[in-house]
Amino acid sequence: MSILLTGGAGFIGSHTAVELINAGYDVVIVDNLSNSNEKVLNRIKTITGKYPKFYKIDVSVAEDLCKVFNENNITGVIHFAGFKCVPESTKIPLKYYRNNLDTTLSLLEVMNKYNCTAIVFSSSATVYGDKNPVPFKENMPVGGATNAYGRTKLMIEDILTDVAVASTDFSAVLLRYFNPIGAHPSGLIGEAPDGIPNNLMPYVTQTAVGVREFLTIYGTDYNTHDGTGVRDYIHVVDLARGHVAAIKYATEHTGVEAINLGTGNGSSVWDVVHAFEKANNIQIPVVIGKRRPGDIDECYASVDKAAKLLGWRAELTLEDMCKDSWNWQKKNPKGYED
Protein backbone atom coordinates (compact mmCIF):
# COMPACT_ATOMS: atom_id res chain seq x y z
CA MET A 1 0.00 0.00 0.00
CA SER A 2 1.37 3.39 -0.98
CA ILE A 3 0.65 7.05 -0.33
CA LEU A 4 0.77 9.23 -3.44
CA LEU A 5 2.29 12.70 -3.01
CA THR A 6 1.36 15.05 -5.85
CA GLY A 7 3.99 17.82 -5.99
CA GLY A 8 5.97 15.69 -3.57
CA ALA A 9 9.37 16.99 -4.72
CA GLY A 10 8.61 20.44 -3.32
CA PHE A 11 9.43 22.01 0.05
CA ILE A 12 6.52 20.61 2.10
CA GLY A 13 6.15 17.47 -0.04
CA SER A 14 9.76 16.34 0.35
CA HIS A 15 9.69 16.80 4.13
CA THR A 16 6.38 14.89 4.26
CA ALA A 17 7.91 12.07 2.19
CA VAL A 18 10.69 11.74 4.79
CA GLU A 19 8.26 11.58 7.72
CA LEU A 20 5.96 9.11 5.93
CA ILE A 21 8.89 6.79 5.15
CA ASN A 22 10.09 7.13 8.75
CA ALA A 23 6.57 6.12 9.85
CA GLY A 24 6.74 2.96 7.69
CA TYR A 25 4.70 4.06 4.66
CA ASP A 26 5.63 3.42 1.04
CA VAL A 27 5.65 6.68 -0.91
CA VAL A 28 5.08 7.48 -4.59
CA ILE A 29 5.95 11.01 -5.73
CA VAL A 30 4.54 12.60 -8.86
CA ASP A 31 5.87 16.01 -9.83
CA ASN A 32 6.39 17.97 -13.07
CA LEU A 33 9.44 19.67 -11.47
CA SER A 34 8.12 23.11 -12.53
CA ASN A 35 8.98 24.48 -9.08
CA SER A 36 11.18 21.75 -7.59
CA ASN A 37 14.36 19.78 -8.27
CA GLU A 38 14.80 16.04 -8.87
CA LYS A 39 17.97 16.13 -6.71
CA VAL A 40 15.68 16.11 -3.67
CA LEU A 41 14.94 12.42 -4.32
CA ASN A 42 18.53 11.37 -3.63
CA ARG A 43 18.51 13.58 -0.54
CA ILE A 44 15.40 11.74 0.71
CA LYS A 45 17.23 8.46 0.09
CA THR A 46 20.25 9.69 2.07
CA ILE A 47 18.04 10.70 5.00
CA THR A 48 15.72 7.66 5.09
CA GLY A 49 17.64 4.92 3.28
CA LYS A 50 14.75 4.61 0.80
CA TYR A 51 14.53 6.14 -2.68
CA PRO A 52 10.88 7.15 -3.21
CA LYS A 53 9.19 5.90 -6.39
CA PHE A 54 9.03 8.90 -8.73
CA TYR A 55 7.12 9.79 -11.88
CA LYS A 56 7.87 13.04 -13.71
CA ILE A 57 4.34 13.82 -14.85
CA ASP A 58 1.84 16.65 -14.84
CA VAL A 59 -1.05 15.70 -12.57
CA SER A 60 -3.50 17.43 -14.94
CA VAL A 61 -2.76 14.74 -17.59
CA ALA A 62 -5.17 12.01 -16.47
CA GLU A 63 -3.65 9.36 -18.78
CA ASP A 64 -0.24 9.73 -17.09
CA LEU A 65 -1.80 9.69 -13.64
CA CYS A 66 -3.71 6.48 -14.50
CA LYS A 67 -0.37 4.81 -15.23
CA VAL A 68 0.74 5.64 -11.68
CA PHE A 69 -2.44 4.15 -10.19
CA ASN A 70 -2.15 1.10 -12.48
CA GLU A 71 1.39 0.40 -11.30
CA ASN A 72 0.92 1.11 -7.59
CA ASN A 73 -1.64 0.25 -4.92
CA ILE A 74 -2.43 3.84 -3.90
CA THR A 75 -4.46 3.86 -0.68
CA GLY A 76 -4.34 7.60 -0.07
CA VAL A 77 -3.23 10.85 -1.67
CA ILE A 78 -1.62 13.98 -0.27
CA HIS A 79 -2.22 16.74 -2.81
CA PHE A 80 0.52 19.38 -2.83
CA ALA A 81 0.74 20.05 -6.58
CA GLY A 82 -0.17 23.62 -7.46
CA PHE A 83 1.23 27.08 -8.06
CA LYS A 84 1.71 28.92 -4.77
CA CYS A 85 3.22 32.38 -5.26
CA VAL A 86 0.81 35.01 -3.94
CA PRO A 87 2.13 38.06 -5.85
CA GLU A 88 2.49 36.04 -9.08
CA SER A 89 -1.12 34.87 -8.76
CA THR A 90 -2.31 38.49 -8.92
CA LYS A 91 -0.36 39.00 -12.17
CA ILE A 92 -1.35 35.77 -13.99
CA PRO A 93 -4.61 34.66 -12.31
CA LEU A 94 -5.80 32.52 -15.25
CA LYS A 95 -2.67 30.34 -15.08
CA TYR A 96 -3.35 29.82 -11.36
CA TYR A 97 -7.00 28.89 -11.88
CA ARG A 98 -6.21 26.63 -14.84
CA ASN A 99 -3.30 24.83 -13.15
CA ASN A 100 -4.53 24.52 -9.58
CA LEU A 101 -8.07 23.52 -10.52
CA ASP A 102 -7.16 21.26 -13.47
CA THR A 103 -4.68 19.27 -11.41
CA THR A 104 -7.25 18.80 -8.65
CA LEU A 105 -10.13 17.81 -10.95
CA SER A 106 -7.93 15.41 -12.90
CA LEU A 107 -6.66 13.86 -9.66
CA LEU A 108 -10.17 13.39 -8.24
CA GLU A 109 -11.45 11.79 -11.45
CA VAL A 110 -8.56 9.31 -11.50
CA MET A 111 -8.94 8.60 -7.76
CA ASN A 112 -12.62 7.83 -8.44
CA LYS A 113 -11.71 5.54 -11.34
CA TYR A 114 -9.38 3.53 -9.08
CA ASN A 115 -11.67 3.70 -6.04
CA CYS A 116 -9.11 5.63 -3.97
CA THR A 117 -11.21 7.51 -1.42
CA ALA A 118 -8.79 9.29 0.95
CA ILE A 119 -7.18 12.66 0.26
CA VAL A 120 -5.29 15.21 2.33
CA PHE A 121 -5.24 18.65 0.73
CA SER A 122 -2.56 21.32 1.12
CA SER A 123 -4.74 24.31 1.97
CA SER A 124 -3.77 27.59 3.60
CA ALA A 125 -4.68 29.96 6.44
CA THR A 126 -5.16 32.53 3.70
CA VAL A 127 -8.72 31.16 3.31
CA TYR A 128 -9.63 32.93 6.59
CA GLY A 129 -9.22 36.32 4.92
CA ASP A 130 -8.75 39.43 7.07
CA LYS A 131 -12.09 39.79 8.86
CA ASN A 132 -11.82 37.02 11.47
CA PRO A 133 -10.46 37.56 15.01
CA VAL A 134 -7.29 35.65 15.93
CA PRO A 135 -6.70 32.85 16.74
CA PHE A 136 -8.34 31.52 13.56
CA LYS A 137 -10.66 28.58 14.26
CA GLU A 138 -11.78 26.05 11.64
CA ASN A 139 -15.47 26.86 12.13
CA MET A 140 -14.98 30.57 11.38
CA PRO A 141 -16.31 31.98 8.10
CA VAL A 142 -13.86 31.66 5.23
CA GLY A 143 -13.47 33.83 2.14
CA GLY A 144 -12.16 37.28 1.44
CA ALA A 145 -8.82 35.98 0.12
CA THR A 146 -7.01 38.92 -1.47
CA ASN A 147 -5.45 36.97 -4.36
CA ALA A 148 -6.07 34.24 -6.94
CA TYR A 149 -3.76 31.81 -5.11
CA GLY A 150 -5.91 32.01 -1.96
CA ARG A 151 -9.12 31.80 -3.96
CA THR A 152 -7.98 28.58 -5.65
CA LYS A 153 -7.36 27.08 -2.21
CA LEU A 154 -10.91 27.96 -1.16
CA MET A 155 -12.39 26.64 -4.40
CA ILE A 156 -10.58 23.34 -3.98
CA GLU A 157 -11.81 23.08 -0.37
CA ASP A 158 -15.35 23.52 -1.76
CA ILE A 159 -14.79 20.92 -4.51
CA LEU A 160 -13.56 18.36 -1.96
CA THR A 161 -16.48 19.15 0.35
CA ASP A 162 -18.98 18.59 -2.46
CA VAL A 163 -17.33 15.28 -3.40
CA ALA A 164 -17.39 14.15 0.24
CA VAL A 165 -21.10 14.99 0.48
CA ALA A 166 -21.86 13.10 -2.75
CA SER A 167 -19.72 10.05 -2.00
CA THR A 168 -20.32 8.62 1.47
CA ASP A 169 -17.10 6.56 1.39
CA PHE A 170 -14.94 9.57 0.49
CA SER A 171 -12.62 11.20 3.03
CA ALA A 172 -10.93 14.60 2.76
CA VAL A 173 -8.76 16.41 5.30
CA LEU A 174 -8.16 20.06 4.41
CA LEU A 175 -4.94 21.12 6.11
CA ARG A 176 -4.80 24.89 6.58
CA TYR A 177 -1.10 25.70 6.87
CA PHE A 178 0.02 28.80 8.69
CA ASN A 179 3.62 29.80 7.92
CA PRO A 180 5.89 26.81 7.26
CA ILE A 181 9.62 27.57 7.72
CA GLY A 182 12.75 25.67 8.72
CA ALA A 183 14.32 22.56 7.18
CA HIS A 184 15.16 18.97 7.97
CA PRO A 185 17.92 19.01 10.67
CA SER A 186 20.28 17.18 8.29
CA GLY A 187 20.42 20.29 6.10
CA LEU A 188 19.94 18.04 3.06
CA ILE A 189 16.44 19.28 2.15
CA GLY A 190 14.91 22.70 2.65
CA GLU A 191 13.17 25.67 1.09
CA ALA A 192 14.59 26.60 -2.33
CA PRO A 193 12.36 29.30 -3.89
CA ASP A 194 12.98 30.20 -7.54
CA GLY A 195 14.29 33.76 -7.96
CA ILE A 196 13.73 36.46 -5.33
CA PRO A 197 11.99 34.95 -2.28
CA ASN A 198 8.56 36.34 -1.41
CA ASN A 199 8.48 34.74 2.01
CA LEU A 200 10.28 36.06 5.07
CA MET A 201 12.54 33.21 6.18
CA PRO A 202 14.13 32.37 2.83
CA TYR A 203 14.81 36.07 2.37
CA VAL A 204 16.44 36.20 5.81
CA THR A 205 18.63 33.14 5.11
CA GLN A 206 19.63 34.42 1.65
CA THR A 207 20.61 37.74 3.27
CA ALA A 208 22.61 35.85 5.91
CA VAL A 209 24.44 33.82 3.25
CA GLY A 210 25.17 36.94 1.18
CA VAL A 211 22.88 36.26 -1.79
CA ARG A 212 20.76 39.33 -0.79
CA GLU A 213 22.20 42.63 0.48
CA PHE A 214 19.56 43.36 3.15
CA LEU A 215 16.08 42.39 4.35
CA THR A 216 13.26 44.86 3.79
CA ILE A 217 10.68 44.85 6.58
CA TYR A 218 7.33 45.54 4.92
CA GLY A 219 5.68 48.01 7.27
CA THR A 220 6.13 48.88 10.94
CA ASP A 221 2.69 50.43 11.50
CA TYR A 222 0.60 47.29 11.92
CA ASN A 223 -1.65 46.89 14.95
CA THR A 224 0.76 44.47 16.67
CA HIS A 225 3.10 44.48 19.69
CA ASP A 226 5.96 46.00 17.72
CA GLY A 227 4.23 47.28 14.58
CA THR A 228 5.44 44.53 12.26
CA GLY A 229 3.28 41.70 10.86
CA VAL A 230 2.57 38.77 13.20
CA ARG A 231 2.36 35.23 11.83
CA ASP A 232 2.22 31.66 13.17
CA TYR A 233 5.51 30.16 12.02
CA ILE A 234 5.58 26.37 12.13
CA HIS A 235 8.61 24.12 11.60
CA VAL A 236 8.26 22.24 8.31
CA VAL A 237 9.14 18.96 10.09
CA ASP A 238 6.24 19.51 12.53
CA LEU A 239 4.03 20.30 9.54
CA ALA A 240 5.16 17.10 7.79
CA ARG A 241 4.37 15.04 10.88
CA GLY A 242 0.92 16.64 10.86
CA HIS A 243 0.45 15.22 7.36
CA VAL A 244 1.35 11.72 8.56
CA ALA A 245 -1.32 12.00 11.25
CA ALA A 246 -3.78 13.46 8.71
CA ILE A 247 -3.43 10.71 6.09
CA LYS A 248 -3.85 8.08 8.84
CA TYR A 249 -7.02 9.88 9.93
CA ALA A 250 -8.28 10.20 6.34
CA THR A 251 -7.84 6.49 5.61
CA GLU A 252 -9.69 5.57 8.81
CA HIS A 253 -12.66 7.96 8.51
CA THR A 254 -15.10 9.37 5.93
CA GLY A 255 -16.38 12.89 5.44
CA VAL A 256 -14.49 16.20 5.27
CA GLU A 257 -12.58 18.02 8.01
CA ALA A 258 -10.71 21.34 7.84
CA ILE A 259 -7.80 21.33 10.30
CA ASN A 260 -5.29 24.09 11.15
CA LEU A 261 -1.60 23.21 11.18
CA GLY A 262 0.08 25.89 13.26
CA THR A 263 1.69 26.38 16.67
CA GLY A 264 -0.93 28.73 18.11
CA ASN A 265 1.84 31.31 18.73
CA GLY A 266 2.26 34.57 16.85
CA SER A 267 5.72 35.99 16.08
CA SER A 268 6.40 39.38 14.51
CA VAL A 269 8.92 40.06 11.76
CA TRP A 270 11.27 41.61 14.35
CA ASP A 271 10.76 38.53 16.59
CA VAL A 272 11.91 36.31 13.71
CA VAL A 273 14.87 38.50 12.78
CA HIS A 274 16.06 38.74 16.39
CA ALA A 275 15.51 34.99 17.00
CA PHE A 276 17.51 34.19 13.84
CA GLU A 277 20.36 36.53 14.84
CA LYS A 278 20.52 35.06 18.35
CA ALA A 279 20.22 31.41 17.30
CA ASN A 280 22.93 31.70 14.64
CA ASN A 281 25.08 34.57 15.96
CA ILE A 282 24.61 36.47 12.68
CA GLN A 283 23.58 40.10 12.08
CA ILE A 284 20.88 40.66 9.44
CA PRO A 285 21.04 44.10 7.75
CA VAL A 286 17.51 45.52 7.66
CA VAL A 287 15.77 48.36 5.78
CA ILE A 288 12.29 49.54 6.78
CA GLY A 289 9.94 49.63 3.79
CA LYS A 290 6.28 50.28 3.08
CA ARG A 291 3.50 47.78 3.77
CA ARG A 292 3.09 45.01 1.17
CA PRO A 293 -0.39 45.06 -0.44
CA GLY A 294 -2.64 42.32 0.92
CA ASP A 295 -0.72 41.71 4.13
CA ILE A 296 -2.77 41.49 7.33
CA ASP A 297 -1.80 42.56 10.86
CA GLU A 298 -2.01 39.23 12.64
CA CYS A 299 -2.52 35.57 11.71
CA TYR A 300 -2.15 32.66 14.10
CA ALA A 301 -3.94 29.36 14.64
CA SER A 302 -6.31 27.79 17.10
CA VAL A 303 -4.67 24.36 17.46
CA ASP A 304 -7.22 22.40 19.50
CA LYS A 305 -8.89 20.56 16.60
CA ALA A 306 -5.59 19.10 15.33
CA ALA A 307 -4.80 17.87 18.83
CA LYS A 308 -8.28 16.37 19.29
CA LEU A 309 -8.74 14.75 15.87
CA LEU A 310 -5.15 13.95 14.87
CA GLY A 311 -3.44 13.65 18.25
CA TRP A 312 -0.86 16.07 16.81
CA ARG A 313 0.69 19.28 18.14
CA ALA A 314 3.68 21.25 16.88
CA GLU A 315 6.69 20.68 19.14
CA LEU A 316 9.62 22.55 17.59
CA THR A 317 10.47 26.11 18.62
CA LEU A 318 11.20 29.31 16.70
CA GLU A 319 14.86 28.81 17.67
CA ASP A 320 14.78 25.32 16.08
CA MET A 321 13.24 26.85 12.93
CA CYS A 322 15.94 29.52 12.74
CA LYS A 323 18.81 27.07 13.34
CA ASP A 324 17.51 24.52 10.82
CA SER A 325 16.76 27.17 8.18
CA TRP A 326 20.30 28.49 8.45
CA ASN A 327 21.86 24.99 8.50
CA TRP A 328 20.12 24.22 5.18
CA GLN A 329 20.97 27.56 3.57
CA LYS A 330 24.65 27.62 4.54
CA LYS A 331 25.09 24.08 3.22
CA ASN A 332 23.13 24.92 0.04
CA PRO A 333 23.74 28.63 -0.77
CA LYS A 334 22.06 28.16 -4.18
CA GLY A 335 19.45 25.66 -3.03
CA TYR A 336 19.49 22.49 -5.15
CA GLU A 337 21.36 24.28 -7.96
CA ASP A 338 24.73 23.82 -6.22
Point out which residues bind ligand WQD (CB under 6 A): 84, 86, 124, 126, 179, 198-200, 203, 215-218, 229, 231, 269, 292, 295
- b/e string for 201-215 if b means 16 or more Cβ within 10 A? bbbbbbbbbebbeeb
CB atoms within 10 A of CB 317: 14
CB of 281 to ligand WQD, least distance (A): 22
Asked if omega into 135 is within 30° of 0 (cis), the reply is yes
Instruction: Give me the torsion for CA of 52, 47, 178, 301, rounded to 10°.
Output: 110
Nearest to ligand WQD of 12, 110 (CB atom): 12
CB of 114 to ligand WQD, least distance (A): 29
Nearest to ligand WQD of 58, 295 (CB atom): 295
Nearest to ligand WQD of 124, 327 (CB atom): 124
Closest residue to ligand WQD, Cβ-based? 229
User: Is residue 173 a contact partner of residue 255, using CB atoms and an 8 Å limit?
Assistant: no
Of the candidates 276, 283, 282, the one whose C-alpha atom is nearest the C-alpha of residue 322 is 276
CB of 252 to ligand WQD, least distance (A): 27
CB of 254 to ligand WQD, least distance (A): 28
- Annotated active-site residue 149? The verdict is yes
Nearest to ligand WQD of 172, 284 (CB atom): 284
Nearest to ligand WQD of 26, 297 (CB atom): 297
Q: Considering 55, 96, 128, 149, which one is annotated as catalytic?
A: 149
CB of 295 to ligand WQD, least distance (A): 4
Nearest to ligand WQD of 165, 196 (CB atom): 196
**CA-to-CA distance for 148 and 153, rounded, in angstroms?**
9
CB of 13 to ligand WQD, least distance (A): 12
Would you name the residues annotated as active-site residues? 149
